[in-house]
Amino acid sequence: MRWMGAPLAAVASSVAWSDEVWIADTHSHSAMRFNDASCLRCELTQSGVRLLSWALVADGPFIQRLPSGAMQVNFKASPEEYRAAFGRMLKGMRRRIKAEGLQLALSADDIDKSLQGQLHIVLSTEGAQYLGGDPQHLDVVYAQGVRQIGLGHFVEGDLLDIRTEPPKLGGLTELGREVIRRCNAMGILVDLAHSTDQSVAQALEVAQQPMLWSHSAITRQATDWKSRSNHVMSISLANAKVLADRGGVVGLWPSRFNFDDPRAYVAALGEAVEMIGEDHVAFGTDMQGLAPASTMMSNYSGLREVVDLLLRTNMPERTVRKLAGENYARLLKAVMMSRSIS
């Protein structure tokens, strides 16, 4: 891989210091654990994070992690139960945001402020079961500040097939198509992570705006729910190329499912750049969303280390800045500016 030609110990005098490169994360659950009393603002500020997609897990109350690390679906709730759970979780997140004096990224102007040095939080959801089959409910969640929506997670829904269950819907449903169209019109970024290859391909055909795959790896060979490998959650290279061609971004997951240590993650970032281009790769940590045994980093000082390692390779500083934060910011801004529903 051409980026890794320089020794990691040698830092060229022409590159920026690590702390001059700001960070964005396409997918995080940081500080969401029960009774977490840490200072989220402090951690993000100290590590140079300027833009954080803070993801509410829509089906979280209805699943549990087994000792093996696998997820088990306890039961499929009603739309009313999903909406009630969504409301409780969102209320807690907004309470935390207010208490710490954090700012929400609600518009393209807010993304520009992040580029200028102000920390902003992107309210996101992983799974969209709270829609309850009604695309008009997007109006409600938009008014509540949500600007990024993952269409699937671990509980099967009515929008598309997910990667961890046998496909039953034929990929993307007509309801899923309608939700994508409405998200595009509203300026909400659509996240395709957890979706099957067929669902992703169909979503890319429908979408009028660039899309996100927020977290996992890129695999040259497609995988599915029957795969025994650690790549079952990954986006196929074929879909990643189409997503990139249409202006989208893939967030790479620094998990032990795919990488042994930060240096392996850095190498994978370089490989992803070679596969889909430097404008289409980002950090997608899933911070604190993994089982402890699968976690490479437990806080954002680990991502700061990754930036430092990238700068110690011969990857151009321009490319490092794009991966570290600019690509995700550009994608969000483009989608937000496309809003056509007043």
Between 51 and 18, the higher pLDDT residue: 51
Instruction: Read off the pLDDT of residues 1-11 as tens digits, 9 standing for 90 and up.
Output: 555 444 433 34
Mean pLDDT, rounded, of the chain: 90
Instruction: Decide: 319 and 273 in contact? Cβ < 8 Å.
Output: yes
Instruction: Read off the pLDDT of residues 74-128 as tens digits, 9 standing for 90 and up.
Output: 777 899 999 999 999 999 999 999 999 999 999 999 999 999 999 999 999 999 9
Let me know if residue 9 belongs to a domain. no
Show the domain range for 46. Answer: 22-337
Nearest CA to 310 among 276, 262, 278, 272?
262
Query: Quick check: 45 pLDDT over 90?
Result: yes
Give residue 3's pLDDT: 52
Q: With residue 122 as reference, give the H or E element that holds it.
A: strand 120-126
CA distance 324 to 342: 32
Buried b (16+ CB within 10 A) or exposed e, 227-255: eeebbbbbbbbbbbbbbbeebbbbbbbbb
DSSP character at residue 172:
B
Give residue 257's pLDDT: 82
Let me know if residue 320 belongs to a domain. yes
Return the CATH number at 138: 3.20.20.140
CA distance 320 to 129: 36
Instruction: Decide: 121 and 104 in contact? Cβ < 8 Å.
Output: yes
Give residue 258's pLDDT: 81
Let me know if residue 117 belongs to a domain. yes
Region at 133 (left for phi over 0; alpha for psi -120 to 50; beta for the rest): left
Between 260 and 54, the higher pLDDT residue: 54
Let me know if residue 4 belongs to a domain. no
Let me know if residue 12 belongs to a domain. no
Distances (CA, A) of 41 to 31, 103, 295: 10, 10, 21
pLDDT band at residue 34, thresholds of 50, 70 and 90?
A: low
Let me know if residue 17 belongs to a domain. no
Helix (H, G, I), strand (E, B) or coil at 76: coil
CA distance 156 to 42: 36
Number of domains in the chain: 1
pTM for this entry:
0.93
Between 59 and 220, the higher pLDDT residue: 59
Let me know if residue 6 belongs to a domain. no
Let me know if residue 234 belongs to a domain. yes
